[in-house]
Amino acid sequence: MRKRSLKKQPAKTQGPTDESVDGAGIGALAAQLASYLPPDQVERVRGAYAVGAHAHASQRRKSGEPYITHPVAVAMILAGLRLDAETIIAAILHDTLEDTGMTRVQLEASFGPVVTELVDGVTKLDRVDFASRLEADAESFRKMLLAMARDLRVILIKLADRLHNMRTLSAMLPDARRRIARETLEIYAPIAARLGMNAVKAELQDLGFRSLYPDRYKVIASRIKRTLGNRRESMAKIERALAERLAADGIPVRIVSRIKSPYSIWSKMKGEHKTFDQLMDVYGFRLVTDTVAHCYQALGSAHSLFKPVEGRFKDFIAIPKANGYQSLHTVLFGPFGAPIEIQIRTEEMDTVAERGVAAHWSYKQDASPSNSAQARARAWVAGLADSQAETPSSLEFIENVKVDLFPDEVYLFTPAGDIQSLPKSATALDFAFAVHTDVGMHAVAARIDGKLASLRAQPVSGQTVEVITAPSAAPNPQWLDFAVTGKARAAIRHYLKHLQHEDAIDFGHRMLESALDAGGSSLDAIAPEVLDRYLADNNLRRLEDLLSDIALGNRMPDQVAEKLIATGGSVIGTAQHRPEKIRISGAERGILSFGNCCHPVPGDDIVGYLSPGKGIVVHRVECPNVFELSKQPERRVAIGWDSEVQGDYRVELRVEVVNRPGVLATVSAAIAEANSNIDDVKYIERGIEAATLIFAIEVKHRKHIADVIRRIRNTKVVNGVYRYPL
């Protein structure tokens, strides 16, 4: 594939009606900063503005406005979160390394190493050549997350950058709008949620929804406005009743009515299969008080005023969400036939709920490490850093991150009482890896609330999970079928790839030796300098990399052997002969796969064909596809079964049966009696008198198939049974 540079064009989105480069923009920013920063730091920000305005002087946004309006707007968003001067300076300069001639050396000389690292953290890798935009975006995202692991302020700048770009997206072409909006909904809004920044998350979601589905957005927004207009009087009565009861009980409170956004309505309509009227037929209020004690007292007051709905109370104060969110949630039977959703929290909790990791940034060192959004966020990004180290592919890494960004969570307890927060569909295996990677690597089963369960089991919130381990246990490929979290999947893949690499080296060695033997030589006969020259010419660091490449089908063993012999390898004998078959035991599953077209099993006559990146694909000699594959003789590998083989092998049987009740159970019982498991069964023909089924079963070898077929025939309900395909 021809690589192309993905250098970003500076004029990337439309500008808003922000103040332009004449200085009014920095004036408004300076005024905002003066409310919480000392004068000397505000002057540093002014200096950064002068440098940024000069660097971007010749650049314009898609709307035609001076480009500097964008970084100033990003800085304004961060100033609204009351972030420190270094973050504000980095925001103003965040595009200089990427879009201007300014260098890291110049930036560090003027503003120091911290600002330089923050700017570099949000700088994309567009100056590097990538095969596709998708690959470039994934690698840039990975780079940003690694920088975020060093300093959380990197992601705060990036979120503010994305928020302003989403606010000003209308100048982009439709395809670009949809791509950016989808990325915002899939990546950046969930990251904001994971960091507890609900205000940023909600705006990113609504802006993304409006750009991706403009018609749906207009319809839902219009209906929300109309519904709220009709219910204004009812909401005022409920709010008044709550205020009077809380005042009578001596609880200071600020009451805020909660209005669902178009995106939240749309996502719940889609995810919960509810109608618009069902979702809007709810009154929502937030009660904000001064202390935790008053939160629980306010809950009692609300329950005494309106009856609570059973099973709808959640205490996120005692057990905070993974992003540090704390609040009491309850649902009440309302006076107008519609439920009332109540959230109760302190002012401090409300600030953290809206701003997340950005709340009280100046005082982050004083926050309680066991309960702060910042401490939880740092633990999360540290986990991401560990995960990426075991995930070579950036595209695979970003998929793992997406899984961990799912908003729904379950809260599980260890036997010691510690809490683990996991995605809703997480299994006992995910829990094991969440406790510790070593626990996951050696897990064999679990006890959920004291009852024995498999690693596939999905615990629910509040359950206690104990992981049973064994020193000899190790991950297997089937774990990837039910592992959910990025941490678990990355660790399992890393282990399996390590095994695959070891298998590939061994198998590649056998393949190269076989090819050299056919040419009258051997690997030991190749002079070390000849081998070293070949490795250097092919950008290979060591012999093991060459052998692995051969086994994985990326290099043809015959061609490698021919080249090594031609460039000075010793020839032991002049007679060339057919290479002996390479024997396989079935344990080489990391580099061997078995053709779904013919399902070979031990005992079959087989042949292998090299497939780039996959290794050897094994086919039965009589497979219909072998004729087509034989047109590429250089990819053919002479293989045969070892005297001892391992594992179970999938095979399909075509069973023609009498169509009467109970026949499926009869055939299934016969298969079970032959000690074979059924993977799948399906009808392919069904008439009044007869039917044809395909059974996918697991067998040990060819004799095992014969035993299964004999037992099926003995049931007297079949007209014929054959291996499929024939």
How would you classify the pairing of strands 592-594 and 615-620? parallel
Evaluate the CA torsion angle 199, 202, 204, 207 in order and state its sign. Answer: negative
Q: In terms of Cα–Cα distance, which of 326, 322, 324 is closest to 295?
A: 326
In the sheet with 636-637, reading across from the earlier edge strand, the strands are 592-594, 615-620, 606-611, 636-637
- Among 18, 65, 95, 99, the active-site one is 99
Distance CA 55, CA 601 (A): 67
Count how many Cα atoms sit within 13 Å of the Cα of residue 333 in the half-sphere of its side chain.
7
Q: How far is CA 223 from CA 218, 280, 543, in A?
A: 9, 10, 67
Q: What string of DSSP letters covers 142-169?
A: HHHHHHHHH-THHHHHHHHHHHHHHHTG
Question: Residue 363 to residues 84, 109, 194, 374: CA-CA distances in angstroms?
Answer: 10, 28, 21, 11
What does 645-671 look like in DSSP terms, one character per residue? --S-EEEEEEEEEE--TTHHHHHHHHH
Which of 555, 621, 616 is CA-nearest to residue 589? Answer: 616
Give the C-alpha distances (Å, rounded to integers) separating 462 from 57, 316, 580: 58, 13, 60
Residue with tokens 């970084």: 71
Six-digit token string for 58: 């010749």
Tell me whether residue 98 is one of the annotated catalytic residues.
Answer: yes
Query: Residue 725: is the preceding peptide bond cis (ω within 30°)?
Result: yes
- 308, exposed or middle or buried, with CB in 10 Å at 0-12, 13-18, 19+? middle
Give 308's strand partners.
332
663: tokens are: 């026949």
How remote is the C-alpha of 589 from its chain's centroid?
26
Residue 99 among the catalytic residues? yes
Instruction: Could you list the beta-strand ranges (E) of 388-435.
Output: 409-413, 419-423
CA distance 13 to 34: 29
How many other C-beta atoms lie within 10 A of the C-beta of residue 700? 19
**Strand duo 129-130 + 4-5: pairing:** antiparallel
Q: Which listed residue (18, 65, 86, 98) is catalytic?
A: 98
Supply the residues annotated as catalytic.
98-99
